[in-house]
């Protein structure tokens, strides 16, 4: 009995002090429908995990796309105009071929396919050292666009996986230090 109480207290103290070490929110992108920019369809949150790694937690809530698979990539220009066309091609700081995340070759923003459920909800999470939020860094993701496609990425076709129309878009923006205390969600 005494041991478990001590263990519980210990865990409690650990969780309390541990909370300040949680990854810090450093950037985010609010995603909207390209056909109607008043309609939000998701959120990308980027956290500094330390040691040069950044985590993306992506959530999509796109009811019009329920029960489908959508492809997600970072595109090189942070401009969602012209139905996402202004974002141009895939952001490709390492000059690699388009492909599947984690495979031999892929673009640094090839997040890949995300399955949406019956309500249009889906999520993805990635931790990588391919991104940074440092000005002038070739890996800097700030100002890039995140495009949600209405089709499935085949991970093969160059240069963009034959992923279909651009149905959602958002621009990655830096989160200022004063508001970066929010915990991971």
- Whole-angstrom distance, CA of residue 52 vs CA of residue 137: 12
Residue ranges of alpha helices (H) inside the chain are 2-18
**Binding partner selected for residue 147 from Zn ion, Cu ion, none, CB under the kind-specific 5 to 8 Å limit:** Cu ion
CA distance 37 to 99: 29
55 lies in the site for Cu ion, by CB under 5 A:
no
Give the CB-nearest residue to Cu ion. Answer: 73
Does 144 contact Cu ion by CB under 5 A?
no
- Tell me the two tokens of residue 24: 């810090």
Residues that bind Zn ion (CB under 5 A): 90, 98, 107, 110
75, exposed or middle or buried, with CB in 10 Å at 0-12, 13-18, 19+? Answer: buried
Applying CB under 5 A, which of residues 55, 65, 73, 144 lies at the interface with Cu ion? 73
Phi, psi of 140 (to 5 degrees): -65, 120
How many residues touch Cu ion under the rule CB under 5 A: the total is: 2
Q: How far is the CB of 156 from Cu ion (least distance, A)?
A: 14
Query: Smallest gap, in angstroms, from Cβ of residue 97 to Zn ion?
Result: 8
Give me the residues that bind Cu ion (CB under 5 A), please: 73, 147
């Amino acid at each position: 009995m005494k041991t478990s109480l001590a263990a519980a207290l210990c865990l409690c103290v650990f969780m309390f002090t541990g909370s300040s070490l949680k990854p810090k929110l450093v950037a985010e992108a609010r995603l909207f429908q390209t056909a109607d920019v008043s309609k939000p369809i998701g959120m990308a949150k980027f956290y500094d995990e330390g040691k040069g790694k950044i985590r993306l937690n992506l959530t999509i809530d796109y009811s019009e796309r329920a029960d489908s698979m959508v492809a997600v990539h970072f595109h090189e220009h942070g401009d969602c105009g012209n139905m996402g066309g202004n974002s141009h091609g895939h952001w490709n700081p390492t000059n690699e071929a388009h492909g599947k995340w984690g495979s031999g070759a892929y673009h640094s923003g090839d997040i890949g396919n995300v399955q949406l459920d019956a309500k249009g909800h889906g999520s993805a999470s990635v931790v990588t050292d391919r991104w940074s939020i440092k000005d002038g860094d070739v890996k800097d993701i700030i100002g890039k666009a995140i495009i949600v496609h209405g089709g499935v990425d085949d991970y093969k076709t160059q240069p963009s996986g034959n992923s279909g129309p651009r149905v959602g878009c958002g621009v990655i923006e830096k989160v200022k230090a004063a508001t970066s205390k929010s915990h991971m969600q």
